[in-house]
Every structure is written in structure tokens, then in C-alpha cells.
Structure 1
Amino acid sequence: MLYFIASWTVLLISCSVIGIALLNCLGENFFVRVGDRLMAAEWLGMIALSICLLAVSLVLPLSSLIGILVVVTLCGISFISKRTRTEVGALLKVSSWQLVLSYIGLAIAVAAFTNQQVTWIDTGLYHYSVIQWLHNYGTVTGVALIFSNLGFTSSWFALAAPFNPASLEARVSAVTNGFVFLLAILHFLVCLRHSIAGKALFSDWFVIVFLGLMLPFTLLYTLFREILISPSPDLPTGLLIGIVCWAILVVTNLQSPILPDSQSLHNYNAQAVPLILSVGALTIKLTAMPLMLVTSLFYAVHHRRSIQKLCIGGAIALVLLAPMLAAGIKTSGCPLYPSSILCLDLPWLPDAENIDQVAQGTHGWSNWYGKPPEGRNRWLWLLLTWLNSERPNQAMVALIIATIVGMIMTFKSFRKIPIKGKYWIVAIEVVGFLFLMMTAPFFRFALPYLLLIPSLLIAMYAQSLLSQIVSIVFRYSQRSAIAFSLVFIAAVLTIFTQTHATSQWLLPPAMQRVPVIQRRVNDIVYFYPQNKELCWATELPCGFEIEPDVRLRDRERGIAGGFVYTKD
């Protein structure tokens, strides 16, 4: 537990410094309130750090020492800017012991909850294995030939790698998801504080509603709770879907940004903030593709009259995507693996049939249920079969129907509210859901998209109704004392409720280990889990059925040198 708190504190400080520098590089001054600016900096810093670590993994292993050097280097570069040094100094001055104690209490609460054994199935299948490959060897050439899922590239695994040395015995793989969950709670509290002070904007209410739905659902629903206590990229991707929409609302609705005398509004590029966040979400998981596409269109439409800004936006996206594309090419020969789009004819490119099989298993849901009975319409049969296969699928349909009914009932009011950017958020939900229905209609992927329009509708009424209630409740209260008391009580309660599950104060319980059989294919010695179990914390390389035509790429370097496919 203490390891989590220490790691999160380092990440929060580092990401804020890196993010503030990024905001200043963009000449961005739309996030004028301290809370908004700090949260934008945290999310931007998290994205920048993750992508930089992924880029470093192309040439170096992401050991703890390399991770420290990357963080120190990025913070050092950030502090070159005088504006960044001044802004960080100003933030330190406005901090107080109440804020510090509140953060400690909140961090204890989150750490106590996440201080459990990781049980999410995908972590045992490949998440932890990918993290260990990155930590020990970096991005390894042709590693997808050992096990297809090892070719799934994510900057989120790169962020986790330095925090997961072998000496910690596979105990702390949930450190990054705990961090993003803590960051989301802090963002929620910042917006709630704006509402308490009577200064909430529509963007604040949107975050309060979106995170007010996502965070409790993550804690209470078993599937999402298992994802939280794991290194799964599903959680940060889902949260970033809402945060990108918040950024769009902020940059499109602020009417009087504070500008230096020597600059004008035309020189600013605030729309690059949601663009960076959406591209960063895509580097974490490909399910953010519709988010990035709509946000890119938002950026292009806003700057349609400026060739220079369009080129800047394109360059930003390309630079951020380059490490992910390069890592995909290095691990599998395909930049968007498991998609076969743009695959290169390289010695480590898996067989086309294998790539197609992996693709069908991840985003070819129309083939998951077999063939329809004779005489039945294929697509109608598929939809009904999908609908009846799992209860969460039925919940998705119910939420869609409720959203459509809500939009119809409130259309006139929704159309009249003077909030810019709202239709972009509607577009993100519609495109996101349609994309998932064509690829992988899983509840855990779709829920963040499906909450966007309901959050807009609820925020529309919350802005006028709930603001009065909140103001009345807190009018005669000491806000900082109440905040500290609530967080402290939450921390104590969480510790007591979780004591029965774990007694580890420094580190969580170790990940399970499974019995393995040592096998050999050509010059590759690997470990096969008995009884077709998952790899979990098995020693590298852990695989299942390695094809007989796979060999080491460089025998002298061993598995660190990668693998090639030598089929004639």
C-alpha cells in the first residue's frame, strides 16, 4: 500500500510539471482557473510520460533506473521554461496543509482498496507478460511470434514497466490503474469544489456527472473492479473519453482568456489539448480510435482557415503516434496489430492466417457465434444472439434506448442551451458506439461512450438545479475542514473494510503463479502453463503453442534479440 502511495505521489508531481510545460509550449491560456489548469496538466503529463517511455523502449529496456532517468529528463526540460518555473512556484504557494492531508487521506483510501491480488484474466493472459518484456528487454522484435497477444502495443504498459521490477515479485502491477483512478477522483473533487464555491461552469457539471457515474460503477461492478485492480488499459481509455469531452467543453466555451499584451487569441492553440489527449488515449488502446477521429475533425474544423495550425495539429498527432506505430512494426510487423492494415513484409511478420485469426478473435465479433440456422437473416440472428449472450449487452441496449428517449424529450431545451461543443460530444458517443458494434461490442469498452450524452443531459439540468442545492448545503460550512473530514473518514473506513482481504502495508499480495512445463522449439526455450492455464507471473518467455518455424533472431543475444519466422 505504501508503495502505491509513494509511486502515485511521484507521478502526480512529475506529470503536473511536464503537463504545465506542454500547456506553455502550446501558448495555451484557456484553462485559466487553477483547478482546471492543474488537471489538464496532469492528464497531459501522464500521456506525454507514457508515450516517451514507449519511445525509449524501442532502444532500451524500461528498467526502474531508465524510468527515473526519463522522468528526471522530462522534468528538467520542462523547467527550462521560465513560465513553467513561475507557475510551479505559484502552485506551491497556494497549497496548504489541509490540501496535503486531504490528498494523503484520499491516497490511503484508494491504496487500501487496490491493495489486493490481481485477478483480471487478461493480466494473467498477457498484460503482466508484456510489462515484464518491456521492463527486462524493451520492445522486442517479433515477440508476437511467441504469443500473439504479446504484439498488442500500449503506452500504458510502458508506463507500468519501470514500476514493476522482478524484485517486487509481481505484486504491484495495479499501480498505474490505481494512479489514474486517483487522478479521476481528484478531477471530480476539483469540479465539485467549483460548484460548492458557486463558480461551476458547464464543463464542471459534465465532469461531476460523468465521473460521478463512472467511478462508483468501477468500484461496485465486479468486472470493472477487477479491471481497476490490474494494469488493464481499459480503465485509462474509458476515463480519457470523458476527459477529452471535458477539454472540448472548456476550450470552446471560455469567452475571455487571459492573454499577454503582446499576443492575441489567434496565436493560441487550445484545441490541441483535446487532440493530444485523444491521440494519447489511442496509444493506450485502439478502442479510442473513434475518439481520436472525431477530436481530430474538431481540431481541423476549428482551424480550417489556418494551414499553419492544421500542419501543427498533424505534426502533433504524428509525433505522438510514431512510437506506437514503430513498436507495432517491431513486435509484429504490423503498425496497428492485430489489424493487418499496412503490415510490412518483414522476417518476423506472422503468417497471414495467424494474423487473421487473432483479428477475428479481438474485433471480428460477427464470427464469434458461428453460422445462423438455415432460413434466418444472418445479421438479425447475430444481433439477437449477441443480445442474449450476456446481461451487460442488454444493459447497453437499455441505456441506448434511454438515451434516445432522453434526447427526444429534451431536444428543444438541449438545442437552446448556449453551450458550444455539445454536438461534438454527441458525435463522439455515436461514432464510438457504432465503431464498437462493428468491431468488439463489449460492455467494458462501450460504457464510457454511452455515458457521454446522458452526462450532457443531466449536466444541463444540474447546472441550474443542483448548484442551488450544493450552495445551500455548504453555505455555512468550512469547506476545507469538511473535505478533509470526509476524505479522512473514507480512508479509515476503507482500511477497515479491506483489512480482511490483505494485511500487507508495504506491498499488495503477489500475483498467482502456475505450474509450468519447460519446452523447446528450435533454439527457443520457453515455459508452457500446465492444464492450459494463464501465464500470470511465469518466467519469460511464457507461451502456449509456438510454431515450429519460429527461431531466435540473434542467438548470441538470446530472447532479447527477438524472433523471426523462417517458413519457406
Structure 2
Amino acid sequence: MFEKLTLFYHSAPPPDLANTLLFGIISLTTLVSFISLMAPVTQLTHFCVLGFLLLYAYLDKKNVGDTIKALILEVKTNPYLFILGCICLFPAILIASGPVGYHDTGMYHAQAVKWINEYGTVYGLGNLHYRLAFNSSWFYFAAFFDILAFDGRTAHVINLVPYTLVLLICLSGFYNLFKKNISVSQILKCLLALPICAAPFLTIVFLPSLSPDLVVAVCILYALILTIDYCEEREISASGQTDRQSETFILLVCLSLFLPTVKLSSLPVLLFAFFIAVKAENRKIKLLLTSSLVGAIILLPFLLGNVLLSGYLLFPFPQIDLFSFDWKVPYQVAENVRWSIKYFAIHPGMEGGIGAVAGMSTLEWMQSWLARTGGKVINYWTVTALVLAIIFMIICFARRLRLGLSILAIQTIVLTGIVYWFFSAPAYRFGIGWIWAFIILAYGNCIYLVLQAVGRRFVEYVVRGTLVVLTVALVNLLLIRWDSFELLSHDSSDLLLNVRALPSEAMKAVKIHEGLVINVPLKERGWNAELPGSPYVNNNLQLRGNTLAKGFRLAN
């Protein structure tokens, strides 16, 4: 349906399953974000959206049926890939539905989703707790599925979606390599599993949480793959832009505009879309108008939500100060939040706290960061990737490979993303997408040159062996969480059919004034506590009306 709306729907070949899933994530999140501006995202919302989708499937049953048949045929023709995918997915389901302990999910992720479910987007919610003004669109996606969690369960299993996306993309890459379709983009798809194996906290920590860091990292890597794929298709297409290129371009534009609504640390991903947009075949009125319209639809609910939650178009960037609503977060508060994010990312445990970091010069905080976090970034993977990137560029210019200039431009975009991350908020989890984009691109380029130089039979053996190794590595990684498997052996029905509830913390009720009582957690994390809740109490906080739905403001 999304492809039809973007005017590039075509019946053959059948759409890529990973692209279809990504289109669905973006369109559903945008729709739910719009709904939350006017009403809470309740069970009724869920059933209305499902009813609309069923009606559409009935009216367009031919194309929907053809797509389903094509997907079933792919499974039948590749049963081993399907089985391996299920083997990797099953333990991930156990982990995602198991115990939750991620700090930020307890501090504000779960509370943000609860507000969306019960009240929608609330005016001045950032005055209650500034983190509730961050407005990640991933929380709206999670809120839509929270009604599936009956008996007081939660939506923290939502990070299974980006993990499933990784499996689909990775297996798609292996499938195309089996068909002797050797290209840089297909190799990068296979390497997408590498950061999952080499950076285990992406799954062990983020799977059972509401953190948007996993989906941001995965989508940055896939935006890189889409850009490479477009450039390769352009090199082999002699008759202008193909339908496949148009679909890739629209998806890349949608993804590049969607990711900053999830987390602003992904902002440089817009350069991928810009790099493709400036190419001659995309300077067409129809394509540019469609891209602009789709981009406006994706960004509008995010920007409106920011204004409602904090009074700013982008929070915490108060420099873009266009409004003077009564629920607006004070300028200095927003500015302090912006700097505290950076200082905390540099050295969260430094003696003297954030103030000590703020007093450092640029050279001093860089030295402090390298001493504390540098080992996570400057390691075997990044050093070898840098060497391989230099070798690949030398070979490209020596052989005059046409794709070399495009690869160089894309590598520059990735490095720009790393620089932006480093000087904005250099916490490793914020930059993992950019760091691993640089790594897999360098490795993928050199693997491509090697596979081009060897025999086809050898390529087949290498691909099969790599697939087995990655599968074993993924399953072994997921087996780290033995507590999930212990639960399975004790009571399998409870584990497989239910989702573990969020932890509960002791709370105290703090009365600000008549009619406003704040639930304050004793250990900072409120999890799924009753609203309104906040780890901090501001005695100047006021209700804008006689209900929580009217929002909050600060007394002058």
C-alpha cells in the first residue's frame, strides 16, 4: 500500500520482504504519531487500524495475494535459510520476553509509552520530566502494540522487530550470493549480522527493552546498504532509472527522514538521501514532489509532537525558538539538558559530576573520553577496517573502477556521521551504527574484490561456510541469557505465551499542590508506575487545567 502511495508500485518482481517490513514500520509509526496528537493510542485505535488494513487487503486482494504467494514460494525454494532464520529468532524471542533491567526503560521509556496509551501527546509533558520531551517516534510504535500485552504486560518486546529485520536482510544477502549475484550491497547484507555478534549488548541489553538505540543502529546500516545498492544498480543500468531504483530511492528518503524522529544522533543519515537525490536521474519533478510530500508527512507529526511536549520544534535545541506557549520548557532548562547529554556521554562517572566535565577544554575531554571509552571504538575491527578502506581505494583508482568514486563519497558520509556523533554526544551506544557502518563497508569492499577474483565454486563454499558460522555465533550469543531457558524448562507455557511484566519499584506520593500529586520512585526508575510519575520533583509545576490530559506548565 505504501508503495502505491509513493507512485512506484509495480507488480513484478515481488517486493523485497525487508523493504516491505521497513515501509510498514515507517508508515505505521507515522500514522500512530498523527493519532496521538488528537487522542490516546488505545485498543480501539489498534482495532481501527487493523480493520482498515483488512479492508485494503480485501479491495486489493489480487496484488496482496500475489505478494503472499511470492513470499511462500521463496520459503519453499529456500527451506534451509528459513529454518536457520527460525533457529536464530527463537532464542531472541525468549530473551525479549524475559526479564527487563535496562535503566533508561525504567527511568522514562516505559513512562513515555504509558502516557501515549492513556493520554496521547500531552502539552508541556517535558516540564514534568525533561526526558519525556525527547519524543522518540519509536515509543509511538511501541505504544501501538502495547495493547497486545494483556494481564498488565508491556510492549518491551518491540525490539524484536529490528532484530527480525536484520535476519531478513542478512538471509536475503546470502540467498543472492547463492544465486551468484555477487555485489558489494549483497555482501554488506550478509555482514549486517557482524555487529550483532561482535557487539552483544545490542541484543542482550536492548532486546528486552524499549530503547531506540537498536533500531537506529540497524537502520543506519541498512541506509548504507540501500545507497550502495542504488549506485550499483545505476552502474549496470544503461537505460535510465529503473522501477527498482525508484523504489530504493523512495525508501531511502523515507528512512533518512524517519530515523531522526527516532533519535537525533542519526541526523547525518540525511546525507545518504541527499547524495542520491543530486544524481541526474532523480532531478525529475514527479520524483522530487513525491519525495517532498512523503518527507513532509513523516516529519510533520514529529515536529508537532515536539512543540506540544516542550514548546520547541527540536528538543533539546532551544536555539530554534519560535513559540511562546504557556507550557514551554524554560530556555535555560532546555539548554542545560542539551549540554548534560554531551557531558554525561563523555564521562558519566567522573568525580565532580557533569560540572567537572563542563570545565574541561576540548583536548582534555577528548583525552578523558579516550581513556575511558576509546577501547570500545579503537579496536581490532576499526583499525583493520581503516587499513582495508585505504587498500580498497588504492585498488579502485589503480584499476579505474567506476564504483570507486561513489564508494569514496559514501565512506565520507559515514565518517561525517562518526564526527557528528563524537562532538555531539560520544556515548558508544549512540554511535554504534556509524562505527559499524564504516567497518562493514571496508570489509565488504575488500571481500567483493576477493570474490570477483576467485572461482564460482569457491564462492559457493565460502558463502555456505560463512552462513553456518554466523548462525552458530548468533545462537551462541543468545544462549548467554540462560535465565530465559531455565524458565522455559520450568514452565514453558508461561514463557512462550506471556511476556514478563516490567519490574516494580517502591514509590512515594509527593503533593505539589492541591490536585497534583507526583509518584516519585525511591530508586529513580518508575517503570510502569501510575501517572504522573517522575524521578525529580519541581515545586513550580502546575496543571494547565483540571486533568492530566490538559498538560503541565511551570509557574512564573
2:25 aligned with 1:60, yes or no?
no
Task: Tell me which residue corresponds to 2:311.
Answer: 333
Task: Tell me which residue corresponds to 1:463.
Answer: 448
Tell which deviates more after alignment, 487-496 or 37-46: 487-496
| CA spacing shift, 1:109–1:141, aligned 2, 3 Å | same
Task: Tell me which residue corresponds to 1:289.
Answer: 267
Residue 519 of structure 2, aligned match among 520, 523, 527? 527
Which secondary structure state, in structure 1, belongs to the residue aligned with residue 16 of structure 2?
Answer: helix
Task: Tell me which residue corresponds to 1:234.
Answer: 213
Distance 2:204 2:425 in 1: 21
- Displacement of 1:217 in angstroms is 3.0
Residue 550 of structure 2, aligned match among 538, 561, 568? 561
Identity of aligned residues (%): 20
8 Å Cα contact 1:299/1:313 also seen in 2: no
- Displacement of 1:345 in angstroms is 1.0
Task: Tell me which residue corresponds to 1:3.
Answer: none
2:332 aligned with 1:353, yes or no?
yes
- Displacement of 1:527 in angstroms is 0.4
Distance 1:318 1:357 in 2: 30
For residues 291-440 of structure 1, what are the structure 2 equivalents within 5 Å? 291-302=269-280, 305-343=283-321, 344-363=323-342, 370=355, 378-390=361-373, 393-398=374-379, 401-415=383-397, 416-419=400-403, 421-440=406-425
- Displacement of 1:362 in angstroms is 1.8
8 Å Cα contact 2:114/2:528 also seen in 1: no
Distance 1:359 1:105 in 2: 42
For residues 39-54 of structure 1, what are the structure 2 equivalents within 5 Å? 39-54=18-33
Distance 2:462 2:417 in 1: 38
8 Å Cα contact 1:224/1:444 also seen in 2: no
8 Å Cα contact 1:145/1:564 also seen in 2: yes
| CA spacing shift, 1:373–1:499, aligned 2, 3 Å | closer
2:163 aligned with 1:181, yes or no?
yes
8 Å Cα contact 1:325/1:336 also seen in 2: yes
- Displacement of 1:442 in angstroms is 1.1
Task: Tell me which residue corresponds to 1:545.
Answer: 536
Tell which deviates more after alignment, 157-166 or 431-440: 157-166
Residue type at the aligned position of 2:48: L
| CA spacing shift, 1:265–1:92, aligned 2, 3 Å | closer
- Displacement of 1:319 in angstroms is 1.6
- Displacement of 1:91 in angstroms is 2.0
The alignment's TM-score, normalised by the length of structure 1, stands at: 0.82
**Deviations 1:249-304 (Å, cap 9, x if unpaired)?**
22222257799xxx977994642221111111112111110112442343244467
Which secondary structure state, in structure 1, belongs to the residue aligned with residue 27 of structure 2?
Answer: helix
8 Å Cα contact 2:256/2:272 also seen in 1: no
- Displacement of 1:409 in angstroms is 3.1
- Displacement of 1:243 in angstroms is 0.7
Which secondary structure state, in structure 1, belongs to the residue aligned with residue 502 of structure 2?
Answer: coil
Residue type at the aligned position of 1:471: E
5+ residue gaps, structure 1, are: 1-17
The alignment's TM-score, normalised by the length of structure 2, stands at: 0.84
5+ residue gaps, structure 2, are: 348-352
- Displacement of 1:474 in angstroms is 7.8
2:255 aligned with 1:277, yes or no?
yes
- Displacement of 1:437 in angstroms is 1.5
8 Å Cα contact 2:127/2:329 also seen in 1: yes
Residue type at the aligned position of 1:355: A
Distance 1:118 1:497 in 2: 12
Residue type at the aligned position of 1:432: G
Task: Tell me which residue corresponds to 1:150.
Answer: 132
Distance 1:213 1:490 in 2: 14
Task: Tell me which residue corresponds to 2:508.
Answer: 517
Task: Tell me which residue corresponds to 1:8.
Answer: none
- Displacement of 1:394 in angstroms is 2.7
| CA spacing shift, 1:108–1:264, aligned 2, 3 Å | closer
2:140 aligned with 1:161, yes or no?
no
Distance 2:474 2:386 in 1: 41
Which secondary structure state, in structure 2, belongs to the residue aligned with residue 227 of structure 1?
Answer: coil
- Displacement of 1:492 in angstroms is 12
**Deviations 1:396-424 (Å, cap 9, x if unpaired)?**
13455544433333321244444374234
Task: Tell me which residue corresponds to 1:111.
Answer: 93
- Displacement of 1:23 in angstroms is 6.1
Task: Tell me which residue corresponds to 1:213.
Answer: 194
| CA spacing shift, 1:373–1:216, aligned 2, 3 Å | closer
2:442 aligned with 1:444, yes or no?
no
Distance 2:475 2:218 in 1: 26
- Displacement of 1:379 in angstroms is 1.9
- Displacement of 1:70 in angstroms is 2.0
- Displacement of 1:92 in angstroms is 5.1
**Deviations 1:136-193 (Å, cap 9, x if unpaired)?**
1111111111111111112211111132249746644332101210221121111112
Distance 2:120 2:358 in 1: 48
Equivalenced residues, count: 529
Distance 2:324 2:195 in 1: 42
Distance 2:185 2:12 in 1: 13
Distance 1:499 1:470 in 2: 37
| CA spacing shift, 1:348–1:413, aligned 2, 3 Å | same
